[in-house]
Amino acid sequence: MPELPEVETVRRGLAPVMEGARIARAEVNRPDLRWPFPERMAERLTGARVEHLGRRSKYILAGLDTGETLLIHLGMSGRMLVSGDPLGRFHHDHPAPQKHDHVVLHMENGARVTFNDARRFGAMDLCPSEAAAGHAWLARLGPEPLGNAFHEDYLIGRFRGRMSPVKSALLDQHVVAGLGNIYVCEALHRAGISPTRKAGRIAEGRVAALVPVIREVLTEAIAAGGSSLKDFRHSDGELGYFQHSFRAYGREGKSCQTPGCHGKIRRIVQSGRSSFYCAECQR
């Protein structure tokens, strides 16, 4: 599933052709994806101007001049693909319609934005913009890891007394929004913290030091365009490249890259997910 860096990369790719542009025509080619689409979705989108394209956790939020916000979740394999971009940043020709093109936005500026989702775990919804923060998908999310509300004192407080593994705590979207398996593994490796350590038993100084490491990993991943493992592509169809910088994730049996460490990366399963770490330098 795309994590925060991948979703932010997609948002940045969509912004030049969607922000300030009007949706000339919207096509909705099926009644649902993971959940049913909102009523009259095509009608409500057609003619609307996109005033702002934002992101909350792993959701893209398109604020419309109709007073509604379009919420988009990419799910496991969802892609937002752009063609016919008038700015010349993407391929000019519109490709032939594909089997899994479920929602197509024909922009007034000549661009076409297609939501393609082979596995259909993605989702879209419309809600009043003034109530978007309280939408069921967003209301209980924790702070953004790159935002001011995510800081050392906050994370220390959320970890205090928590007996679940630190990896589980960081994957809890109520604690911090947008982190997923890949970037938690990478951040814990850089911080030298074992994913099996109980969150509430990590010294406060080490918890505080984890905050800038998380920010560093995410910032580097966004700069690299995210990580392409199976399904993720940019809005122009290109791959992300951060997977070439992985120090832990997917490196089972390979030498640890921490300077001075002679250990090897191990793989264990926690709550059904693979954790990659070095038992020598992650304590």
Return the axis-axis angle of helices 204-223 and 4-18, rounded to nearest 10°.
40
Torsion of CA 34, 40, 43, 44, to 10 degrees: -80
Which DSSP state fits 239? P
The secondary structure of 233-264 as a DSSP string is: --TTSPPP-GGGG-SSTT-TTSBP-STT---B
Q: Are 174 and 141 in contact (CB under 8 A)?
A: yes
Nearest in space to 114 (alpha carbons), one of 53, 2, 25:
25
Which DSSP state fits 56? E
Q: Classify 22 as helix, strand or coil.
A: strand
* 280 noted as active-site residue: no
* 152 noted as active-site residue: no
Q: Pick the catalytic residue: 3, 6, 68, 186?
A: 3
* 2 noted as active-site residue: yes
Nearest in space to 276 (alpha carbons), one of 214, 211, 190, 209:
190
Q: What is the largest CA-CA distance in the chain?
A: 61
Q: Are 110 and 128 in contact (CB under 8 A)?
A: no
Q: Pick the catalytic residue: 49, 162, 264, 273?
A: 273
Q: Pick the catalytic residue: 58, 79, 112, 158?
A: 58
Q: Pick the catalytic residue: 2, 5, 143, 165?
A: 2
User: Please, is 117 exposed, middle or buried when counting C-beta atoms within 10 Å of its C-beta (0-12, 13-18, 19+)?
Assistant: buried
Q: Are 125 and 56 in contact (CB under 8 A)?
A: no
Q: How many Cα atoms within 13 Å fall on the side-chain side of residue 223?
A: 7
Record the tokens describing residue 218, joined without a space.
């995410």
How far is 119 from 237, CA to CA, in rounded Å?
A: 18
* 233 noted as active-site residue: no
Any idea which residues carry the catalytic annotation? Answer: 2-3, 58, 273
